[in-house]
């Protein structure tokens, strides 16, 4: 994973002090190359088992080539070696789609929305909560439950 560090403003520090030439703003350095679940894992919000389950789900999503594309792709399908020995690239893609569908189904109807948004689409938890019209800070609990079910589906213990 490549590091793409940028500075982002958090919130204004308050009113301008007399004699100050600039407003003081709080900023934080953000790695744009880090996925939301990697961010949660690095800060101790997800244990190794849940992180591994999320990574397996994302890998199947990418292997199945489910992400939207704007134009037709003429390049050959690039699939890294998996446990699907003896399969053609098309068969590997179909197998990945079947695993992805099974994992999303195992997560359940009410949990798969936040799971897909955060793990596959790369949305942050606050953005996913807003899009789903959920209360703030509720997504982390729901995501953990969904990842636990996905870990059981992938037999990660």
Give the model confidence (pLDDT) of 98-126 as tens digits: 999 999 999 999 899 999 999 999 999 99
| Closest to 103 in 3D by CA, of 47, 56, 145 | 56
Q: Quick check: is 22 in a domain?
A: no
Q: Quick check: is 40 in a domain?
A: no
What stretches of the chain adopt beta strand conformation (E)? 5-12, 25-31
pLDDT at 17: 39
As for how many domains the chain has, the answer is 1
Structure tokens at 27: 């900023």
Q: Quick check: is 138 in a domain?
A: yes
- CA dihedral angle for residue 149, residue 153, residue 154, residue 155, rounded to 10 degrees: 90
Q: Quick check: is 36 in a domain?
A: no
Neighbouring-strand partners of residue 7: 29
Q: Quick check: is 82 in a domain?
A: yes
Q: Quick check: is 87 in a domain?
A: yes
pLDDT at 22: 54
Q: Quick check: is 125 in a domain?
A: yes
pLDDT digits (tens, 9 = 90+) for 124-157: 999 999 999 999 889 999 999 999 999 999 999 9
pLDDT digits (tens, 9 = 90+) for 57-83: 999 999 998 987 777 767 665 655 556
Q: Quick check: is 59 in a domain?
A: yes
**75 is in which domain, residue-wise?**
52-153
* DSSP H or E stretch at residue 85: none
pLDDT at 12: 45
* Mean of per-residue pLDDT scores for the chain: 83
DSSP assignment letter at 14: S
- CA atoms in the 13 A half-sphere facing the CB of 125: 17
Cβ-count burial of 27 within 10 angstroms (0-12 exposed, 13-18 middle, 19+ buried)?
exposed
């Amino acid at each position: 994973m490549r590091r793409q560090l940028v500075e982002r403003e958090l919130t204004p520090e308050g009113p301008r002090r007399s004699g100050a030439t600039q407003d003081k703003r709080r900023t934080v350095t953000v790695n744009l190359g880090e996925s939301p679940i990697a961010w949660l894992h690095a800060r101790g919000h997800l244990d190794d088992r849940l992180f591994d389950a999320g990574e397996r789900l994302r890998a199947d999503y990418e292997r199945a080539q489910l992400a939207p594309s704007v134009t037709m792709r003429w390049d050959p399908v690039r699939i890294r070696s998996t446990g699907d020995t003896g399969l053609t690239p098309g068969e590997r893609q179909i197998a990945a789609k079947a695993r992805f569908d099974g994992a999303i189904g195992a997560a359940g109807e009410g949990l798969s929305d936040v799971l897909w948004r955060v793990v596959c689409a790369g949305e942050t938890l606050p953005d996913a909560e807003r899009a789903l019209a959920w209360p703030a800070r509720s997504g982390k609990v729901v995501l953990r439950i969904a990842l636990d079910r996905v870990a059981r589906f992938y037999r990660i213990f």
